[in-house]
Amino acid sequence: MARFPVVAIIGDGDVPPDSPIGRLAEALGRMVMDRGYVLITGGRGGVMFAASRGARAASTYQPGRIIGVLPGSDPRLANQYVDLPLCTGLNHARNVLVAQADAVIAVGGGAGTLSEMAMAWIHDRLIVAMRVNGWSGRLADTRIDSRHRPVSVADDRVFGADTVEDAAALLDRYLPAYRRG
């Protein structure tokens, strides 16, 4: 049986859900679910909350397809849209786990988002960076470093996207080359 591809949506944990970045994250969460992927986030607020809310609102939503990798040990701290809260007790070190998704979509973000993007890069994951303020906008269309990433993509980089449709097209085009298993 084939497994569902897992897509992480990462970004600022403090952004208001109804801000432009929050609305973008919500639309991205809906797109991820509508394309048949499993959504993984850090499970808390801001971009994580908005993406989870969008995934839950998708007409294709199925229980069990929204995972929150929590920094602490209390599953009650997950936002209400998370189906599977995974308590790690790892604080920011949990970012390494989130970055193990088949693809990572970054929406703005600060140092935590930067660490997730760097870990996804090191582990040869597809990274889509929304061209908004924060680390996603700063790293869109660049290579994080010069290491050789063993993928069959000649133009390997952090792929920049302006819209949800751009991000979806990048997932469609590149996910098969980066996905493992």
d(CA 152, CA 144): 18
pTM of the model: 0.97
Residue 2 scores a pLDDT above 80:
no
Residue 181 scores a pLDDT above 70:
no
Per-residue pLDDT reduced to its tens digit, 71-113: 999 999 999 999 999 999 999 999 999 999 999 999 999 999 9
- In this prediction, residue 152 carries a pLDDT of 81
Residue 5 scores a pLDDT above 90:
yes
Residue type, position 14, single letter? D
The string over 54-93, giving b where at least 16 C-beta atoms fall within 10 Å of a residue's C-beta and e elsewhere, is: bbbebeebeeebbbbbbbbeeeebbbebbbbbbbbeeeee
Residue 43 CB burial class (10 angstroms; 0-12, 13-18, ≥19): buried
Among all chains, which residue has been given the structure tokens 């050789």? Answer: 148
- In this prediction, residue 180 carries a pLDDT of 75
d(CA 12, CA 164): 18
143 phi/psi in degrees, rounded to 5? -100, 135
- In this prediction, residue 25 carries a pLDDT of 98
Could you say which architecture CATH assigns to the domain 6-178? Answer: 3-Layer(aba) Sandwich (3.40)
Structure tokens that stand for 102 in this block: 């088949």
- In this prediction, residue 103 carries a pLDDT of 98
d(CA 19, CA 25): 10
Per-residue pLDDT reduced to its tens digit, 133-179: 999 999 999 999 998 887 788 899 999 999 999 999 999 999 999 88
- In this prediction, residue 8 carries a pLDDT of 98
CB distance 106 to 11 below 8 Å: yes
Rg for the chain, CA atoms, rounded: 15
Structure tokens that stand for 129 in this block: 């960076």
